[in-house]
Structure 1
């Protein structure tokens, strides 16, 4: 791979990255580049109007997509990301998609399994907190890190098997994204936080000093959801439902069929279900019950050898 002016070097998701523009919040690289990120023209014609969302396969292992008012992106061979900003896109707003959707696709291409959730250390174990949008996973993980839990990943917890087939969490980068209301609940104010470009009320929280920089074995996955009751209920998921929990919480899982990776993906998720403990957290729809959720998680983790 040869592109000019790749003077910025970073590390994220276990990969050394070279970029021709600034990517704030990532760690410095510790080796030769494995991934190249470039701002430039995307040489792909996507279907649909230019001001709409669209995506397409490119060649045998490439994926391009367009986000309205943000830009067009191309991810190829697990090696290269090209980002072309739209006119009027707020400076830096496209980075959210580079480190989100683009990285999710690139991880798939490189054979890693991206789970949609936060990863951290608690009670000597390493866990992923997942759940549908609005379930409260960011609030829960922010509360845990505020209490001193070390952090591995925010929105994408990338998994890679070792030689024995055990799932290991690959650290992403030391930043978490929080909506204003969640940040105010956990930190009291957003005055010291940086607003994420392109999103009015979402902010970056730095995890410097509390970030785990080396892969850790995944012990358990906790899926968070809401219910109309008044209590927090934490229960273990067993049998075929374990696999269903994992399948529905894969990051950008809608791309798997398009990329032709259904069979490989199903086998990897099945192996993951067999290797870890899976739990379901049901929290009340109303009220702030983070303390009760954390107590329930700790109780379950103490039962894992």
Structure 2
């Protein structure tokens, strides 16, 4: 069993919440909701040295997994991130400005997902929105249109728990519980144009790419809710208005798109854990849709999902 280590004392303190965890950080994390500071931190993010690991059991060009459970992600020219074996401490060694959006982009994605796995949470590559008394996870490979669909549904009055990465708590006996993450959605310039949203003043996700962070504070649902259904988006097909039901065996081939960072899971020795959690998802109602081109295609889809999530 991995024993939690004492958390370090920070030079600067920014307090936020993420997935119902209390987070203290030496760098500002403006995408995350604020935490009032009551209670002890569950996760500490500090600046410091994040050297290459020594006793490596698995690696890629960017990720190292150590024998003792440490994980190190390194993106040349951006930063190195060292995640403690219990997921309670993340050390960042910047190779650019500490407040650069790129540092936060990798932190919010791969690094937070690795920490969440250490907490026992299961990451889906999905946007998560409220329907009825629960949520629907909209998943698909990168570029499938998850965030664009989420933004269109938000414009129709839906509340969002997560964009791109949805964390599930499967520790209970009932339905998986989706946890709230970021009150923002990431959209490409063409999606903003189709929705007639001006990108002026929006922060880019990273570098000079034409992808921006759109705040959705008023539409953010900060409470955990049960996962009622999974919708896989097939970007090779145009949405024809139908919500096609998938059998449990049909969902398995989609798992490489549904699970966030499955390769990192395998390298962390979590293959059996991954399969156990995937099997917990198979009994859930699962559906397939094509890429939704615009808001005019939403009415029928929303009505069908409302019927599913009563």
TM beyond 0.5? yes
Please state how far the C-alpha of 1:187 moved relative to its aligned partner: 3.6
Pick from 131, 137, 159: which aligns with 1:122?
Answer: 131
Q: Which consecutive unaligned segments of at least 5 residues does structure 1 have?
A: none
Please state how far the C-alpha of 1:197 moved relative to its aligned partner: 3.9
Pick from 227, 245, 249: which aligns with 2:254?
Answer: 245
Contact persistence 1:234–1:297 (CA under 8 A):
no
SS in 2 for 1:217: strand
2:77 aligned with 1:69, yes or no? yes
Contact persistence 2:78–2:95 (CA under 8 A):
yes
Task: Measure, in 1, the Cα distance between the counterparts of 2:98 and 2:89.
Answer: 22
The 1:4–1:88 alpha-carbon spacing in structure 2 relative to 1, beyond 3 Å, is closer
SS in 2 for 1:9: strand
Pick from 115, 132, 139: which aligns with 2:148?
Answer: 139
The 1:239–1:263 alpha-carbon spacing in structure 2 relative to 1, beyond 3 Å, is same
Q: How many residues align?
A: 297
Pick from 186, 197, 213: which aligns with 1:177?
Answer: 186
Task: Measure, in 1, the Cα distance between the counterparts of 2:17 and 2:279.
Answer: 29
Contact persistence 1:150–1:211 (CA under 8 A):
yes
Task: Measure, in 2, the Cα distance between the counterparts of 1:160 and 1:120.
Answer: 16
2:11 aligned with 1:11, yes or no? no
Task: Measure, in 2, the Cα distance between the counterparts of 1:230 and 1:219.
Answer: 21
- TM-score calculated relative to the size of structure 2: 0.87
Contact persistence 2:80–2:94 (CA under 8 A):
yes
The runs of at least 4 aligned residues of structure 1 exceeding 6 Å deviation read: none
- Deviation by residue 1:185-230 (Cα, 9 ceiling, x = unmatched): 1243212423234243111111111111110011011000134568
* Further displaced range: 227-236 or 153-162: 227-236
Pick from 189, 194, 197: which aligns with 1:188?
Answer: 197
Pick from 80, 88, 100: which aligns with 2:89?
Answer: 80
Task: Measure, in 1, the Cα distance between the counterparts of 2:17 and 2:197.
Answer: 31
Please state how far the C-alpha of 1:4 moved relative to its aligned partner: 3.0
Task: Measure, in 2, the Cα distance between the counterparts of 1:42 and 1:230.
Answer: 46
- TM-score calculated relative to the size of structure 1: 0.89
Counterpart residue number, 1:296? 301
